[in-house]
Amino acid sequence: MLTLFSAPKPFTDPHIDLIQRNAIRSWQQLGGEVQILLLGDEPGIASAARELGTEHCAAVARNEHGTPRLDSIFALAHQHARYSLLAYVNTDILLMDDLLQSLESLPHRFTSFLVVGQRWDLALTEALTFDAGWRAKLRSRLRTEGRLHPPAGSDYFVFPRPLFTNVPPFALGRAGWDNWMIYAARRGRVPVIDASRAITAIHQDHDYGHLPGGAPHYRLPESYENVRLGGGRETVFRLVDADWTMDGSRLRHHPWGCGTLGRRLESQVYLVLGPGRLVRLASLLMHPIETTRYWIRRLSGSLGTERA
């Protein structure tokens, strides 16, 4: 039914090793109709794949900084997938049985779609025991200790195989590419379904020791480059830009509420215009305060140059 693919971090850090094994083993609990592909040649991936009994492909291309490239990861997934439904999932995400239950009816409703959603954050410092009651125990812990992450991005993307065969060479693990996924689907008139209320995705807390300076990825140069590759800031779409929502097995159009009306209208302009100078001009016109600050900075810089 589903090919689930991911590009893990190195397994060298003990905590990263633990949470990635937790995640992969939770995916295996989804059953025999789920193919698991681990992609990349980071230290420990090959041995973890052998130990856990998953498929592995090491031939992931890297950018000039040595960061795995998303276009290579998606191309390998399309090449090696056994099923017509694909899911990219970050390797620190635990999945529950509501994933397959939620996806079951979608191919009968849509020929194409992209499923995304919010995650829950939970601190786990121990290896999970996948006994008969592990899901009930984890859900109970999630209710008391879990924190719903802000709807700024997504840690999983589910889509039929014909989609996303031409992905820009984004740097994996940096900001911007996940937002582009939503934009690209909407731009291609593919229904984007926010499944936050239907699919339980649990992110296991970790630090950012694997990134330069140990800081989050949002302000790294590669994140800015990802945004550029995607077409600019106007292509940074979020869950609010999904056009469908899923609650259990029920699907409905994303409501145009007062709190989101401005953003919904703005996103429609960006989708119609597409990337380029015209959409940037439209963005400046729709954000007069930001535009004023921009010209103040430009003017201050010019005056400073003249005085020098």
Residue 306 belongs to domain spanning: 276-308
Give the tokens for residue 272. Answer: 């119609």
Residue 193 lies in a domain: yes
Shared-domain flag, residues 148 and 284: no
Residues 230 and 307 placed together within one structural domain of the fold: no
Question: What CATH code is carried by the domain that includes residue 106?
Answer: 3.90.550
Q: What would the pLDDT profile of 123-146 be if each residue is shown by its tens digit? A: 999 999 999 999 999 999 999 999
290 shares its domain with 206:
no
45 & 126 share domain = yes
Residues 296 and 186 in one domain: no
Report the distance separating Cα 122 and Cα 61, nearest Å: 32
Q: Are residues 176 and 110 in the same domain?
A: yes
Does residue 186 sit in the same domain as residue 306? no
150 CB-side CA count, 13 A: 2
Q: Is the pTM of this model over 0.75?
A: yes
Q: Is residue 294 very low, low, confident or very high in pLDDT (cuts 50, 70, 90)? A: low
307 shares a domain with 186: no
Instruction: Render pLDDT for 37-93 as a digit per residue (tens, 0 to 9).
Output: 999 999 999 999 999 999 999 999 999 999 999 999 999 999 999 999 999 999 999
Q: Is 242 inside any structural domain? A: yes
Q: Are residues 188 and 280 in the same domain?
A: no
In a domain, 266, yes or no: no
Residue 184: per-residue pLDDT: 97
| Residue closest to 153 by CA, chosen among 172, 177, 179 | 179
CA-based max dimension of the chain = 74
Please check whether residue 264 lies inside any domain of the structure. Answer: no
Q: Are residues 173 and 35 in the same domain?
A: yes
Q: In sequence order, what DSSP letters do the residues of the chain get, joined into one string?
A: -EEEEE-PPPS-SHHHHHHHHHHHHHHHTT-TTEEEEEE---TTHHHHHHHHT-EEE----B-TTSPBBHHHHHHHHHHH--SSEEEEE-TTEEE-THHHHHHTTHHHH-SS-EEE---EEE---S-----TTHHHHHHHHHHHH-EEPPTT--SEEEEETTS-SS---PBTTSTTHHHHHHHHHHHTT--EEE-TTT--EEEEP---TTSGGG--GGGSHHHHHHHHHHTSGGG---GGG-SEEEETTEEEEPP--TTTHHHHHHHHHHHHH-SSHHHHHHHHHH-HHHHHHHHHHHHHHHHHHHH-
- Measured CA to CA, the distance from residue 43 to residue 66 in angstroms comes to 14
Q: How far apart are alpha carbons 48 and 38 in whole angstroms?
A: 9
Query: Are 210 and 100 in a shared domain?
Result: yes
Q: How far apart are CA 82 and CA 264, in angstroms?
A: 37
Query: How many domains does one find in the chain?
Result: 2
- Within a domain: 261: no
Instruction: Please check whether residue 168 lies inside any domain of the structure.
Output: yes
Do 131 and 212 lie in one domain? The reply is yes
Strand order in the sheet with 93-95: 93-95, 201-204, 120-122, 147-148
Q: Work out the pLDDT band at 306, boundaries 50, 70, 90.
A: very low
The reply to whether 50 falls in a domain is yes
- % pLDDT > 70, the chain: 91
Q: What is the pLDDT of residues 191-249, one digit of tens each?
A: 999 999 999 999 999 866 555 555 555 567 899 999 999 999 999 999 999 999 998 77
Q: Has residue 299 been placed in a domain?
A: yes
